Structure 1
Amino acid sequence: MLKTFLTVWRARFVNHSARAVVVSITLLILAGCNTLGNAHNTPAQPEPDLSELVHDAAEQMIASNPELTRYSPMIAATFVSIDNLSQSSTLGRISSEIMASALSRQGMQVREVKMRDSMFIEESVGELILSRQVQRLSAQHNARSILMGTYAQGQDYVYVSARVVRAGDAMVLGSADFRLPLNNNTRSLLEGQGGW
């Protein structure tokens, strides 16, 4: 009798344990599927757009120095590579154009001047020293300030630094920085190296 009871009890216990294991595994699988399903249903955050980042940077620049617009009119120089201050790219050219437009929306008067070969930054002296050509150009256009900037390519991002400097003495009046994801679009803009 005791032997029969133990046999029945063991069979039920093993059967019950097996069912518990099966139920546990099933619940884990369902939880995993639910998590994966939610991951697919959640829309991925879009990568920031260059134009959006530049406009945000222009807003920050004006917010940090509301008096910046007093230094109008401004002319814009092409943004250059931090590794070679005499070299730019499509990214440098379009970043400068968008930033000038964004600052104009913030109340800065911007003079349209295509400055190809009109501006360079002397590497041996420092990146904020203005050449005689720039001083002459700003005098010709009665510009009180100049938009300039640099960019650096990293492994995952391109870092951009923009500033508005006073034409007469290169004093920084406003600055802003942002980083752009290094995706195929950004790489394509960087490949457009060449003169400015």
Structure 2
Amino acid sequence: MPFKFFATPSLRQRLSTSRLLLLGVLLLSMAGCSTMGNSNNKPPEPAPDLSELAHKAAQQMVASNPDLTRYSPMIAATFVSIDNLSQSSTFGRISSEIMASALAQQGMQVREVKMRDSMFIEESVGELILSRQVQRLSSQHNARSILMGTYAQGQDYLYVSARVVRSGDAMVLGSADFRIKLDNNMRSLLEGQGGW
């Protein structure tokens, strides 16, 4: 007659408790490993703000044309809405100021000129033409270049195109484009529409 092994209830209970404990430890360690390898649990990095984007754009302009700073001094025009080139906003005014500051940090000499009613950009066969007033202002301030830009409002982003042009013939010396998330702060800056 073969020998049969009958575990006592206490031994059977201890074996089952050990197994459950071992299974629990394994499950916990697997969950810990999957959490460590999952980068979705990290908080998202904040989107760059207008100042950061303008400084990167200025660096890009100078990097693509190291001779850009030779066209100093520069004057800055208010950035305008691409949909109405005679209209700007608080955003257009501050983005021009920040961009001029960023270019100054890159070595561009910037003349401080508040250009209210001093500049008009006319659209003609896809070209931007400088008005006589701007050329006169450039001459008065001995400016060799002008910072100008346009912006367009989309559903989720605001698109900005900035360029430095030679004052004599409107030749583009440097340009950069960027987009910024359209949040309540940006919408507030855009609400201040008006002339320049």
Q: Structure 1 runs of 4+ off > 6 angstroms?
A: none
Q: Is the 8 A contact 1:145 1:166 kept in 2?
A: yes
Q: How does 1:7-26 map to 2 (within 5 A)?
A: none
Residue 192 of structure 1: CA displacement? 1.1
Residue 142 of structure 1: CA displacement? 0.4
Query: Which residue in the other structure is 2:117 paired with?
Result: 117
Q: How many angstroms apart in 1 are the aligned matches of 2:57 and 2:168?
A: 24
Percent identity, aligned pairs only, is 85
Query: Which residue in the other structure is 2:10 paired with?
Result: none
Q: How many angstroms apart in 2 are the aligned matches of 1:69 and 1:126?
A: 27
RMSD between superposed Cα atoms in Å: 2.6
Query: Which residue in the other structure is 2:67 paired with?
Result: 67
Residue 124 of structure 1: CA displacement? 3.8
Residue 125 of structure 1: CA displacement? 5.5
Q: How many angstroms apart in 2 are the aligned matches of 1:178 and 1:40?
A: 26
Query: Which residue in the other structure is 1:53 paired with?
Result: 53
TM norm structure 1? 0.80
Q: How many angstroms apart in 2 are the aligned matches of 1:77 and 1:126?
A: 19
TM norm structure 2? 0.80
1:153 maps to a residue whose letter is Q
Q: How many angstroms apart in 1 are the aligned matches of 2:71 and 2:39?
A: 50
Q: How many angstroms apart in 2 are the aligned matches of 1:40 and 1:135?
A: 54
Is there any run of 5+ residues in structure 2 with no aligned partner, and where?
Answer: 1-22
Is there any run of 5+ residues in structure 1 with no aligned partner, and where?
Answer: 1-22
Q: Which has the higher helix share?
A: 1
1:193 aligns with 2:193: yes
Q: Which has the higher strand share?
A: 2
Q: 1:82 to 1:55 in 2, by over 3 A?
A: same
Query: Which residue in the other structure is 2:102 paired with?
Result: 102
Q: Is the 8 A contact 1:121 1:127 kept in 2?
A: no
Q: How many angstroms apart in 1 are the aligned matches of 2:174 and 2:156?
A: 27
1:47 maps to a residue whose letter is A
Q: How many angstroms apart in 1 are the aligned matches of 2:84 and 2:127?
A: 11
2:192 maps to a residue whose letter is G
Q: How many angstroms apart in 1 are the aligned matches of 2:124 and 2:63?
A: 33
SS at match of 1:128: strand
Residue 41 of structure 1: CA displacement? 4.6
Q: Is the 8 A contact 1:153 1:159 kept in 2?
A: yes
